[in-house]
Chain A
Amino acid sequence: MPFDAIFTGVQSEDDQFGAVGGILAAKMGLPFVSMVIGIDSFESDHAIVRRELEGGLQERVKIMLPCVMSIQTGINEPRYVSIMGIRKASKVERKVFKAADYQENVGIKIELAKWVYPAKKAGATILSAELEAPAKSCLES
């Protein structure tokens, strides 16, 4: 089925790998833009989107279609679903794909070794507002 775009999330809430969109795009040979926080225009052959960068910076990107976009949280306000909509959705055919069907000949290249909390470090010292004494103690330590 022809399509214009594939949307993925930016990252999962727990593992936060943030890798699905990029890997998917590369495997399908499609252009990819991540951290999308707004779609300014969606034309027949391209889209203009805004992506979030560090420090409050945003980047406006033109991307050719079809493409893969990973969508950042908060891009859209979820709507309440109407009763009619729920009924309609319940009748839609759901295709279930088993992960095991796609794991043949895929070697384990990455493995979770353990979960740990970061080692505790020594507590911080609050220095007084006077400049000279703390500066001296920092130089001495």
Chain B
Amino acid sequence: MSYALVVAEVRRGICEERNLDSIGLCTLLGKDAVLLIPEGNYEFNEQLVNGLIKAKVEEQAFLNPLVMVNILEKAMAARGKPDMIIFTNSASGTELASYAAGFFNLPIITDVNGYDKGQGVFYKSTIQTDLR
């Protein structure tokens, strides 16, 4: 079964609410969501995802791009390659996503705010004064 690996954003012991946007995108895509989260007492409804991978690292290390790519390598070795890796749309999410894209040589779209299943296109914000 194809799945999307959702990298949770956690900060100061809290599982950020914006993770729900990432999980919601999986629903739009029709893909199973597997959440990657560091071990800890994070309050999170596990029923919202189809799988959970807990990384044995401290929160700060989890948010470090160099550590994250190692975690992703291990997660993918254990679970198989996902169709996509989804990060939160935030300072840390973009930092981790861009580094992971370079490291794994994967295409990247940031600031995604929608998906059209019929046309198979993602939507992202852009600033253009004159759309043609």
Interface majority SS (helix, strand, loop, mixed), chain B: mixed
Residue of B nearest to A114 (CB): B121
Given contacts A13-B127, A110-B107, A115-B126, contact A22 B91 (CB under 8 A): no
Q: What residues on A are CB-neighbors of B131 within 8 Å?
A: 115-117
**Closest beta carbon of chain A to B121's beta carbon, Å:** 5
Interface flag for A3 (CB, 8 Å)? no
A26→B91 contact, CB < 8 A? no
The number of residues on chain B lying at the interface, defined by a beta carbon within 8 Å of a beta carbon of chain A, is 33
Given contacts A113-B119, A115-B126, contact A22 B101 (CB under 8 A): yes
Q: What residues on A are CB-neighbors of B91 within 8 Å?
A: 34-35, 51-54
Residues of A within 8 A of B (CB): 13-27, 31-35, 51-54, 109-110, 113-118
A22→B95 contact, CB < 8 A? yes
Contact of B102 among A14, A27, A109 (CB under 8 A): A27
**Closest beta carbon of chain B to A19's beta carbon, Å:** 4
- Cα distance A89–B129 in the bound complex, in angstroms: 33
B66→A31 contact, CB < 8 A? yes
A22→B126 contact, CB < 8 A? no
